[in-house]
Every structure is written in structure tokens, then in C-alpha cells.
Amino acid sequence: MKFNVFTEMEYQVGAKSTLILSINALRNQHQTVLSEEFTLSPYIKTEELPAVSGENRLIRFEVEDPVLLKVSYKATVDNCFKLVDFADKPDIPVAQLDPSVIPYLNPSRYCQSDRLFRLANNLFGNIGNSFVKVLTLTRWINKNITYLSGFSNTHTSAFDTVTEQAGVCRDFAHLGITLCRALNIPARYFTGYSYQLKPADFHACFEAYLGGEWVLFDATGLAPLNGIVKISTGRDAADAAIANLFGNVLFTSMLVGCELAEGEVFESFYYNGNDTVGICYL
Amino acid sequence: MKFNVFTEMEYQVGAKSTLILSINALRNQHQTVLSEEFTLSPYIKTEELPAVSGENRLIRFEVEDPVLLKVSYKATVDNCFKLVDFADKPDIPVAQLDPSVIPYLNPSRYCQSDRLFRLANNLFGNIGNSFVKVLTLTRWINKNITYLSGFSNTHTSAFDTVTEQAGVCRDFAHLGITLCRALNIPARYFTGYSYQLKPADFHACFEAYLGGEWVLFDATGLAPLNGIVKISTGRDAADAAIANLFGNVLFTSMLVGCELAEGEVFESFYYNGNDTVGICYL
Amino acid sequence: MKFNVFTEMEYQVGAKSTLILSINALRNQHQTVLSEEFTLSPYIKTEELPAVSGENRLIRFEVEDPVLLKVSYKATVDNCFKLVDFADKPDIPVAQLDPSVIPYLNPSRYCQSDRLFRLANNLFGNIGNSFVKVLTLTRWINKNITYLSGFSNTHTSAFDTVTEQAGVCRDFAHLGITLCRALNIPARYFTGYSYQLKPADFHACFEAYLGGEWVLFDATGLAPLNGIVKISTGRDAADAAIANLFGNVLFTSMLVGCELAEGEVFESFYYNGNDTVGICYL
Amino acid sequence: MKFNVFTEMEYQVGAKSTLILSINALRNQHQTVLSEEFTLSPYIKTEELPAVSGENRLIRFEVEDPVLLKVSYKATVDNCFKLVDFADKPDIPVAQLDPSVIPYLNPSRYCQSDRLFRLANNLFGNIGNSFVKVLTLTRWINKNITYLSGFSNTHTSAFDTVTEQAGVCRDFAHLGITLCRALNIPARYFTGYSYQLKPADFHACFEAYLGGEWVLFDATGLAPLNGIVKISTGRDAADAAIANLFGNVLFTSMLVGCELAEGEVFESFYYNGNDTVGICYL
């Protein structure tokens, strides 16, 4: 499925500063960037950093002088999804987990799974099938947490959200991840361009590692799971921020979009009934 | 400098469980393990996992049946240190930081640097030399935080410690790391066997990345900096726990030791005066 | 019903200090102290303070010199209970609440009801009868929170307990109060001597203001509701601490007891079925 | 000194609701309300509640039907201040404190003094004179906390503010109170109309109980201490909220003002030098 994605952002730079942006569509075996264009106006030389933690394409550059900086990115991306039936798929015990997955069991900045152990196990511990477990906790979040812009901020963590019960996609994802890890299920955060998300914005969701697959979940239910062009994955938003600003920089405006490429026909995928079929990047 | 290190730990396993231990001395270019012996009694096959996040040597194994498990590790390790004068050493700006170092600028589970930005900059922001900045904040922690066993627990974070002002080595390290990151200085947590630490125990300290070097700091001041045999490094204790237990396992006792190998002569190194000389692993 | 209650406490006083103790059985229209004896050894003059906030009998005294202080209190107390059927009893709306009750709607140190508004209403908001609402939330606490000595400490609040789901009687009471207030039901904390509580200790429970009555609830379910000799009521444990120590004082040991007076026959009262009958002090 | 104060507030009431407002100038021995007018438009019968906790004049009323409600209050108030020299004024030890003052030593919702004990004593514990102690901590807050609208919210407490170091007058007052109580100095919160406060708004400050007097402090330094017409005092903002809303009510707009009555000459009082003279209501 091919998508055209784009963003335009403006930053008011007041003095020599460094920006590290994470807005480029991920290039990996699951997602092909057919074409892309990253532009700074005025022109500044940029550097794409190799991913160190999680998957991402960090663009780093230094702005020497005060300027109103316009960042523009557009790309055509092809990604494919597969459906996996978890009805009879056995769990992978911790004893056999791939080492690369183990860090996603640990608590992280916004996902204090160590403090939600009893809550997660009280609510979901007796569900036998791990896929159903994660789907159930995703729906529990969707039912109990109110989507409310402006309620939370960049310091808000899952420990807050589980009790205050309001937030945005980032908070929904953090809570999902935290509950998974508290249940000994590896889980990670990802950001992306999201087709049919209204209002248009960057989106944040999570993946749980089930039976050897990273399966997609979106506790907000605001957009189809097969319409997300991935930007980055990480432990939580601390790893996968859209922008890290060092110096005197003020974010002033943003446009984000994700559209179907010409000729594509889209059939949206959401988890609906009580089935056991999960969706993963192919 | 050669050290003999050892630990003996006992776990009461009540049912099939998986343990991931991080007690083996690190093997890297800075530290040579001359000999070592890891023993489980009763014998169980173990697996050493490749490091994924930070540096460590995780030993994973599964215990099938209820048992009182004895873990024993001893090693002779050679590590060397160098002194680096930071009086005139220029900082490396974020724009030129090695990408592998950038994750150590992010907040993490126990180090919410995003919430300590103003505090760190109010207290230490006007110190020009970055080494002096970190040394000053380390001494500020040492002066203001009371070393107190039993005050904090595994959920305690730097956000708690900076106000409650009591804790153990882990808490001192977390606060040091958090203040560094809030000042845009990369910092990481490490655990180790520590010579002359009283009472004998595993130790936790931190390293700040200054002028291209990972420089050692110990806000507790309880042991010489050149007497630490490293076990692991990570963002914080979530990455570098001595043990991660999955299943029905109870930690029941522990002995830890670090001694000078025969024939070695040790001259302890602490930061003392107002100098600008830091210590790093060679 | 007559109870013999007693406590013996020891404090190691290291320098001139002031103690304010709240261990005397409350004297009010609901509870008659038939006889009592408060003794300090060595003898020190004490002062009983008039209650300012909540109900209590604070005993204040100053210790001039270092000493091992023994505090002893015993009393015979008569209290009576009444059963009130809330099946058809109308609620008192906030517009008609007695002004003295209104402060018990506000959040307090350990009861951050302002942060649990959504959670309380999601869980219990659709229950029509207020007594059933409080009984249901009490049972929810009892089912979900694990009674665990040593898990929480004097800083632990309902905001922690609702997620960490472990604690002692104090934590159970704080969570009950917080949920009530978040549902616009006034609620207060009380301490007491508790018959049949095992192990013997001071107890903490809560009262909710329903239909003009302060109704007793104990989310721990550890002791009969009609066996509690009240010591104090307040907004939470900040108002109703057993002891407030100013100076150099160390609490070293304590004995607490509550027994039936001779000749009394006790029939324990717990909330059991789905009934609508609450218990209040007569 | 006579002041004309006024406020106009609008509430959008969507369904039957109860409001409890605390906007009337306090009437007590320190402050005389010469004339006042409280108006609801449309007219609704109101009730002034007797103060239960702290000092206040709560106005309670019920709105039956959806309406845009306009609240208007204006008053002419006479209050006088006295200056008290604390240079040689002895402290009142806890052993002799008036019982009515003791609750102001306890932690409260937004003032977790139990968690700031070490911090307060590390920073200010060695200052001998209690007035100087409170003045010093007030200046420490003023220097370290940034006044920043929109940073904090109604859930923010002193435990947050002491580390995050930004907030509004309410947060400044909460932190001042918390530090006082952690130093065993009773302290309470108050709200008022404030002359020369820019932009015009309700103000929040605190009083510390020193040598038998409630002495005024304003860590924001935004307005003269002798220009505040008191509305209410309490433990913290949980006791002294401008409005408590029960039901479906939305606050939509507000005007606040405080002007000198005709013919009055005002000489503003701030703490300036290193003197020991405090200001209290006469």
C-alpha cells in the first residue's frame, strides 16, 4: 500500500541551536521509501544519524544565526501488512526471547511498568492467550481513558494516565506499553504518519511482541492500523520524539498529512470482534 | 590494576522461572577479565546474551523445578584508568556528538531530566567548564543527600530523591545522571564491584560524557573511583539491574567482595580539591 | 457494648522534645469513656488540647531531658451502634449539606480526589444508591488491593495505592475516602482500637456521609465494624496521626489491645450480602 | 486603608448544579467590610455558610436550569496593618502553641511538608531567627521559581514545584507553606484582592505563625503586602478555592479589580533589606 506523506514545520531560532528531527519515514525491510524530499529553508547542511536505540532516522543540523526556519518533508512510502492468527500460536517464554527484545520488558521514562505490576495482573492476568490479553487491555484503555487535547503534557507518564484517565495518543500508547510490560510482554512505542487520522497530526501507537511478531495496537482507535507509515520506534516518547531541540528554538507551527497514493484502494483494518487475528508489518 | 571479585547469591525458586543475572565483570577494551568462574548449584545450563542496550553480560537461564539455587561468581579482572585534564579541553557540542551517545541525553525511568531542567540550570548552569559543572553537581548531591539504607526502594526515582534527599548509591547515581542530562551532558549509569566499599556490596555510580570521554563520578564518595570493576552500563537501573526475575523466585541472601590481587599496590583516587582532572577507564 | 482498650508505647527521647499523642478514646455523644488512665513514666505534666480540626483528644507534653519514656493508656469505653437502611433514604445534595461536612469533600494530603475524578466515576458513577456506591467501592478496594505490611510508608497516598495496589489499613482507608470524595460523597478518616483485629494494632477506617449519617466502612475487612473504639477523626492520616513528634524522639516499641468488657456478648457486624443496611455510631 | 474591590464572573450552567463561591471579602477583627454587594443575574437565592475550616465566607446556591450566570461582587473594605519587629521576639515552641494553630503544621493536599523535611532543613535549618528563616525561604522561592502562566494546573503541588521551578502565585504560596511546615513553623494559605497586582487577578499568598503573630509573605513579590484584601484562609488551595462547582458548570470569564478608595494615600510595603520587621493584619 502506497502512501504520500508530508509535514511542514516552522521553528523560530533565536540563537545558535541544534535540532534533531525524527520526521523521516523509516526505511527497513517492512517499509520502502519510494521517494522522499527533506528541505530546510533557508538551506542548512544536515546529517542523518545511524539508529542506535530503537529504529529511527534522526536528522541533525545546527542553525548558526537567528532565523525563521521552515522544515519540509514529503515522501511516497510503500508498506505492507500481514495478518497473523494467534489462536493457537504459542508464546515465546522469556527464556527464549531474542536478546534484542529484552530491553522492551524494562520500565522506561513514561512507562513505569514496575509500579503497575499488580494492577495489570489483577485486570488481565487471568487471560490465557497473550494476543487476547493485549487486545483486551487496549480496549480497556479505549473505554476508560478519555481522549482530551491539552489535558496532559510532555511530562505526563502512564502512572498519571492510568489514574487521571485522560490524554492524547501518546498517553494511550504509553499506558498500553506499560500494561504489556507489567504482564511480561515486550512492548514498544512508535510514531508515524497516519491515514484517516482526524484531525491530521503525527500519531503514536504501540507494538507488542507476541509469538515472535511485533503486533500493532492503537488504544485510541482513531485510525486504521494498516494506514500508518512508521517514523520511529523506541521504548517510549523519550526515544521517539518528533523533535529534540538544543539551544534557543521555539516551535511555532506544523502541518501533517498522509494520503493514499494515486490508484491505491484502501480497506481499513481495525480490531473488531473477539477474533484472534493480529496485524503486523510484513 | 588487578582485582579479585566475587559474589554468592541464593534464590528460592518456587516454580518454573527464568532469571537474567548481570553479575559478570564486563569484558571490553577498558577491562580485561583474566579468569572467571560462574557456577550454579545445582547445575543449570546458562546462556550469555549479547549486549543490546548499554554494555553488559546478561546470563539467562531457566529453572524448571522448585529449588534453593546458589549462584557463585568469581573473577580476576585487570582494569586501567587514565587521568584527563579538562582545564582547557573543549566541549563537544550536541551537533557533533557521536550518535551512540545521544540516547544518554534522553530522560529515562529513574532519571526524569525533562522535569529537572530549571533546577539544574539554576544551580549549575552558570559554571563554564563542563567537568567542573559535573564535579560541582556531584558534590552538591554528596552534601545534600543523606546516605540512608532502607529509605528508598526499587521504584524511587531522581524526581523523588532531589526533594526527599535520602537514598543509597543507586539513588545518588540517578540524581547525578538526571542533573547532567538536564544540562545537556550525556550521562549513564553503571554497576560494579567496588574495592574498599564498606559495607561490601555491589556499587552504582555514573559516567558523564565530557570532551569525548566517559568520566567517572560517584556522588556517594564511599569508595575510590579507581577501584571499581565494571559489571554493566545503561541509561539507569532499569537497564542495569543485578537481577531480573521472571516467575516465582525469591532473593534470599548475598555476599559480595572485591579485593586487590596479590602483589598489587593500590593508591586510591578521589576527586579532592578544585582541580580539573577527571578519571576514565583507559 | 463495653470494651477494655489499652496501649503501651516506648519512646527514646534524646534531647528536649515535644510529643502530641492521639491515643485517648474519643469522648463524644456516640462513645462514653467510663474510666481511663493515661500514665507517663517518668511522670511528666500533660495537657489535653481542645479539638480544632476533626475530633480528637490530643495529649501534648514536653520532655526536657534524655529519657526512655513509657506511655501507658487504658480505658473502659461504651459505644453503641445503630443500623440504618439506605434502601429508600434520599441523598442530601451538596446544596443542603451541613457546612461542617463540606471540608470532607475537599482533597487532602493523602486523598487527592481531584486526580481520581474520572476513575471513580468510570468505576462507580452509574450506581444509583449512594450507600451501595460506597459499599461497592469498598469491596473493589478489598478485592484489588493486597494487604501487605512494609509495602507503603508514611508518604504513601491514595494516588499511589490505586495503582500499586498494596498497603495497610491506612492506605485502604485513604483510597476509600478519595473515591468517595471524587464521587461528591463527604468522607473522613478515623483511627481506633479494634476488637478482633489480628495482629493487634491500631486500626484505621473511614466514614462516608450518607443521608445525614456518618456510616462506617473498612475496606480491609479485617475486623468487625461494631468493635471499633474511636480515637480520632480527620480528613486523613495527616490530621489523625497516633503521634506527632517534635525534636529528637525515636519510637521504639508498642503494644495495643482491645478486649470485650466482662459480661459483654459480642455479635460481630460485617457487610455481607447485597443489602442496603449501614452501620453508624449511635 | 480603604480599598474598593470587585469581581465579575460568568458561568455557563448546563444542568441543575450547585456552586460554592469564595469571593466575598473576609469580615473579621482585622478587616472591616464597610459596604458590599453580591449579585447573581438572573437572581438566585444564596446562603452564606459559617466558616468551618480556616476563615472564609462561602456563598452557596443552587442553579435549577441551564443559564448563563453572571456573578458580581463589589465591596469597600477597610484593613489595617501593623509592623512587628522580630529581631528579639522569642519563638513560641510547639509545646506552647495555641491548639488552633497546630493543624497548620500538618501536611495538606498541595503542601507535602512530610516529604520536604530534609530539603527545608538543609537549606534553611541553620538560620537562627524564625522570621529571617521565612523571609529567606520566601526569597529563595522568588529567586528560583519562574512565574509562568499555564505551566502548572489545579493538580500541581509543592512537591512538583520545588523541582520543576515554575508556576503561578498559588504554587509560590504552596511551596512557601510547605517549607515553613517542614521547619515546624505553622503556615497557612490565603486568597485576596490585591492592589497593584498586574495583571489584575485574584492573588494567593501565605502567612507564617511567628512569635504569636500571623505574618504575611508573598514569594511572587508581585504586589505590596499592605494592599491585599483577604478573602479566605485555609491550609492550602483545597480549602480556599475561589469556586467549587458541583454539577454541569463551566467557568467562562472573569474580571477582578482592587483600587484605592477615594482620598486614600498608599505607601507600598515590601520586604526589602535584611531587616527583621514583619507585616501583619492589625
- pLDDT attached to residue B165: 98
Which of 167-206 (D) contact C at CB < 8 A?
Answer: 184
Please tell me which of the candidates D50, D53, D114 has its beta carbon nearest to residue C154: D114
Same domain assignment for residues D194 and D228? yes
Q: What angle do CA A117, A122, A126 make, to 5 degrees?
A: 110
Beta strands D17-21; D58-63: pairing state: antiparallel
> Which chains sit next to A, with 3 or more Cβ pairs under 8 A?
B, C
Cβ pair B155:A238 closer than 8 A: no
Please tell me which of the candidates A20, A49, A53 has its beta carbon nearest to residue B53: A53
pLDDT confidence bin for D208, thresholds 50/70/90? very high
How many domains are contained in chain A?
2
Bridge partners for C43 per DSSP: none
Bridge partners for D167 per DSSP: D147
- The closest of D47, D13, D236, D231 to C94, measured between CA atoms, is D47
Please tell me which of the candidates A115, A144, A166 has its beta carbon nearest to residue C163: A115
The answer to whether B35 contacts chain D (CB < 8 Å) is no
Residue D112's closest chain C neighbor by CA? C109
Upstream peptide bond of B42 is cis (omega within 30 degrees of 0): yes
> Which chains sit next to B, with 3 or more Cβ pairs under 8 A?
A, D
Same domain assignment for residues B121 and B72? no
pLDDT in tens, D120-159: 999 999 999 999 999 999 999 999 999 999 999 999 999 9
Same domain assignment for residues A101 and A134? yes
**Helix or strand run (H / E) with residue B143:** helix B130-144
Cβ pair C60:D100 closer than 8 A: no
Judge whether residue B53 has pLDDT over 90.
no
Beta strands D146-147; D166-167: pairing state: parallel
Please tell me which of the candidates B119, B146, B163 has its beta carbon nearest to residue D159: B163
Judge whether residue B5 has pLDDT over 80.
yes
Same domain assignment for residues B67 and B128? no
- Measured between beta carbons, which residues in chain B are less than 8 angstroms from residue D159? 163
**B175: amino acid identity, one letter:** L
Alpha-carbon span A139 to A83, nearest angstrom: 19
Report how far Cα C269 is from the mean position of its chain's Cα atoms: 17
Cell 468522607 belongs to: C187
pLDDT confidence bin for B248, thresholds 50/70/90? very high
pLDDT confidence bin for D218, thresholds 50/70/90? very high
Query: CA of C234: how far to CAs of A97, B193, C186, in Å?
Result: 52, 50, 12
Query: CA of C181: how far to CAs of A8, A246, C89, C111, C235, in Å?
Result: 46, 44, 20, 9, 11
Upstream peptide bond of A103 is cis (omega within 30 degrees of 0): no
Q: What is the largest CA-CA distance in chain A?
A: 60
Same domain assignment for residues C182 and C86? yes
User: Rg of the Cα trace of chain D?
Assistant: 19
Q: What is the DSSP string of chain D?
A: -EEEEEEEEEEEE-SSEEEEE--SPP-BTTEEEEEEEEEEES----EEEPP-SSB--EEEEEE-S-EEEEEEEEEEEEE-EEEEE-SSPPP--GGGS-GGGGGGGS-BTTB-GGGSHHHHHHHHTT--SHHHHHHHHHHHHHHHSEE-TTTS-TT--HHHHHHH-EE-HHHHHHHHHHHHHHTT--EEEEEEEETT-SS--EEEEEEEEETTEEEEE-TT--S-GGGEEEEEEESSTTTS-SEEEESSEEEEEEEEEEEEPTT---------SS--EEEEE-
pLDDT confidence bin for B274, thresholds 50/70/90? confident
Are the beta carbons of B177 and B153 closer than 8 angstroms? no
Same domain assignment for residues C86 and C116? yes
Supply the CATH number for residue A129's domain: 3.10.620.30
Cβ pair D159:B162 closer than 8 A: no
- pLDDT attached to residue A275: 84
Residue A18's closest chain B neighbor by CA? B95
- Residue C92 neighbours by CB distance under 10 Å: 17
Cβ pair D100:C52 closer than 8 A: yes
Cβ pair A61:B184 closer than 8 A: no
Q: What is the 3-state secondary structure (H, E, C) of chain C?
A: CEEEEEEEEEEEECCCEEEEECCCCCCECCEEEEEEEEEEECCCCCEEECCCCCECCEEEEEECCCEEEEEEEEEEEEECEEEEECCCCCCCCHHHCCHHHHHHHCCECCECHHHCHHHHHHHHCCCCCHHHHHHHHHHHHHHHCEECCCCCCCCCCHHHHHHHCEECHHHHHHHHHHHHHHCCCCEEEEEEEECCCCCCCEEEEEEEEECCEEEEECCCCCCCHHHEEEEEEECCCCCCCCEEEECCEEEEEEEEEEEECCCCCCCCCCCCCCCCEEEEEC
- The closest of C218, C221, C203, C209 to C257, measured between CA atoms, is C203
CB contact set of A262 (below 8 Å; sequence gap of 6+): none
Cβ pair B122:D165 closer than 8 A: yes
Cβ pair B60:A184 closer than 8 A: no
Same domain assignment for residues C118 and C180? yes
Please tell me which of the candidates D119, D146, D166 has its beta carbon nearest to residue B163: D119
- Measured between beta carbons, which residues in chain B are less than 8 angstroms from residue D166? 118
Cβ pair A164:C122 closer than 8 A: no
CB contact set of B143 (below 8 Å; sequence gap of 6+): none
- Measured between beta carbons, which residues in chain A are less than 8 angstroms from residue C148? none
For testing contact with chain B, the best of A18, A53, A100, A114 (most B CBs within 10 A): A53
Are the beta carbons of A32 and A281 closer than 8 angstroms? no
- The closest of B43, A155, D187 to A164, measured between CA atoms, is A155
Residue A114's closest chain C neighbor by CA? C164
The answer to whether A277 contacts chain B (CB < 8 Å) is no
Nearest-Cα distance to chain D for B133, in Å, is 19
pLDDT confidence bin for D53, thresholds 50/70/90? confident
Alpha-carbon span B118 to B127, nearest angstrom: 15
* Mean pLDDT over each residue of chain D, to the nearest integer: 96
Residue B162's closest chain D neighbor by CA? D163
Supply the CATH number for residue B17's domain: 2.60.40.2250
Domain containing B85 equals: 81-234+267-281
What's the whole-number mean pLDDT along residues B162-185? 98
- pLDDT attached to residue C242: 96
Nearest-Cα distance to chain C for A195, in Å, is 30
> Number of B:D CB contacts under 8 A?
35
- pLDDT attached to residue C275: 84
Asked whether residue A124 is assigned to any structural domain, the reply reads: yes
Are the beta carbons of D234 and D228 closer than 8 angstroms? no
pLDDT in tens, D224-246: 999 999 999 999 999 999 999 99
The answer to whether A139 contacts chain C (CB < 8 Å) is no
Please tell me which of the candidates B116, B119, B144 has its beta carbon nearest to residue D122: B144
Cβ pair D164:B122 closer than 8 A: no
Bridge partners for C208 per DSSP: C187, C215
Cβ pair D164:B115 closer than 8 A: yes
Cell 529509605 belongs to: B151
Alpha-carbon span D157 to C186, nearest angstrom: 22
Alpha-carbon span D160 to D178, nearest angstrom: 12
Same domain assignment for residues A154 and A112? yes
Please tell me which of the candidates A119, A144, A159 has its beta carbon nearest to residue C122: A144
Written as nine digits, the cell of C35 is 474510666
Cβ pair B155:A20 closer than 8 A: no
Per-residue pLDDT of chain A (282 residues; tens, 9 = 90+): 999 999 999 999 999 999 999 999 999 999 999 999 999 999 999 999 999 888 999 999 999 999 999 999 999 999 999 999 999 999 999 999 999 999 999 999 999 999 999 999 999 999 999 999 999 999 999 999 999 999 999 999 999 999 999 999 999 999 999 999 999 999 999 999 999 999 999 999 999 999 999 999 999 999 999 999 999 999 999 999 999 999 999 999 999 999 999 999 999 999 987 789 999 998
Cβ pair B115:D162 closer than 8 A: no
Judge whether residue D273 has pLDDT over 90.
no
Written as nine digits, the cell of C58 is 490530643
- Measured between beta carbons, which residues in chain D are less than 8 angstroms from residue C111? 109
Please tell me which of the candidates A118, A144, A165 has its beta carbon nearest to residue C164: A118
Nearest-Cα distance to chain D for C262, in Å, is 37
Written as nine digits, the cell of C240 is 489523625
Low-confidence ranges of chain C (pLDDT < 70): none
Which of 45-104 (D) contact C at CB < 8 A?
Answer: 49-50, 52-53, 58, 60-62, 93-95, 99-100, 102-103
Alpha-carbon span A21 to A38, nearest angstrom: 11
The answer to whether A125 contacts chain B (CB < 8 Å) is no
User: Of the given ranges (B49-53, C163-167, D250-254, D259-263), which has the lowest mean pLDDT?
Assistant: B49-53
Beta strands A67-79; C202-210: pairing state: unpaired
Cβ pair B144:D166 closer than 8 A: no
Cβ pair D107:C238 closer than 8 A: yes
Cβ pair A102:B49 closer than 8 A: yes
Beta strands A58-63; A146-147: pairing state: unpaired
- The closest of C112, C154, C147 to C219, measured between CA atoms, is C147
Same domain assignment for residues B127 and B102? yes
Please tell me which of the candidates A115, A116, A163 has its beta carbon nearest to residue C119: A163
- Residue D217 neighbours by CB distance under 10 Å: 27
> Which chains sit next to D, with 3 or more Cβ pairs under 8 A?
B, C
Secondary structure of residue B127 in the 3-state scheme: coil
Which of 239-268 (C) contact A at CB < 8 A?
Answer: none
Same domain assignment for residues B129 and B245? no
Asked whether residue A235 is assigned to any structural domain, the reply reads: no
**ipTM for this prediction:** 0.95
Same domain assignment for residues D137 and D193? yes
Residue C182's closest chain A neighbor by CA? A164
- Measured between beta carbons, which residues in chain D are less than 8 angstroms from residue C238? 106-108, 114
First to last CA, chain D: 11
Alpha-carbon span C190 to C195, nearest angstrom: 15
Same domain assignment for residues A202 and A88? yes
- Measured between beta carbons, which residues in chain B are less than 8 angstroms from residue D116? 163-164
